[in-house]
Amino acid sequence: MELSLTASLLLSLLVAAVPQQVDCGSSGLKRVMRAQLLGFDWKNCGKPDAPAVLKTLAVSPDPIAIPGNLTASASGSTAVELAAPLAVNVTLEREVAGFWVTVPCLDELGSCHYQDGCQLLDQLIPPGQDCPEPLHSYGLPCRCPFKAGSYSLPKSDFYLPYVDLPHWLTNGNYRVQGVLGAGGKELGCLKIALSIHSE
């Protein structure tokens, strides 16, 4: 999958697993001063002929501290242009007593269907605004449409700010799956596994 689409899917997955910073006065949110993401792992879960594929993704350190610094690199390709509307189906599971339980969609977080991932990107990075670093420096797009091709992000440093988490997102092991689709066809699928430890 094109790198920026990879970023789009990862953002969508992280929207489900680690919400964006929002007002603590909102119902059911708790301020998290420190958190750690441990055991980050990923894999493609699409069909063998899926047009959008993440080829490499490396993140460090382990554990990842929030707030804190993150180093990441990625590469991927897409055989077709990816344009709005780009559906994203997210499934979030939490391990409870040795069983994986699906977390329902609550306030647009959890196991949710997003009709257009392109609109999610526009909310995070408004049109007309430069793409965030390091995408901007490497000339990588951050909005739809994403042209067919292969892209890579060299090892780059990011800063992760503190977040406000919903009350149901507590310490534990999580699995997140994101499926991209358009016109009723699956374009790509990515699974992420991690553990959350917050204070």
Mean pLDDT value of segment 54-68: 90
pLDDT in tens, 1-55: 334 444 444 443 443 443 333 343 444 555 556 888 899 999 999 888 999 999 9
Q: Which domain holds residue 95?
A: 3-198
Mean pLDDT value of segment 146-170: 83
Say whether pLDDT at 184 is over 70.
yes
Q: What is the CATH number of the domain that holds 51?
A: 2.70.220.10
Say whether pLDDT at 176 is over 50.
yes
d(CA 113, CA 105): 8
Domain total for the chain?
1
DSSP letter (8 states) at residue 109: B
Q: Which pLDDT band, with edges at 50, 70 and 90, does 140 fall under?
A: confident
pLDDT in tens, 81-136: 999 999 999 999 999 999 999 999 988 888 999 999 899 888 888 888 998 888 88
pLDDT score, position 25: 42
pLDDT score, position 33: 61
Q: What b-and-e string marks burial along 35-66, b requiring 16 or more CB atoms within 10 Å of the CB?
A: bbbeebebebebeeebbbbbeebebeeebbeb
pLDDT score, position 113: 92
The beta-strand segments (E) located in 46-184 are 52-60, 64-66, 68-78, 87-96, 99-103, 113-114, 149-160, 163-166, 172-182
Burial (CB < 10 A; 0-12, 13-18, 19+), residue 152, is middle
pLDDT score, position 96: 93
pTM for this one?
0.83
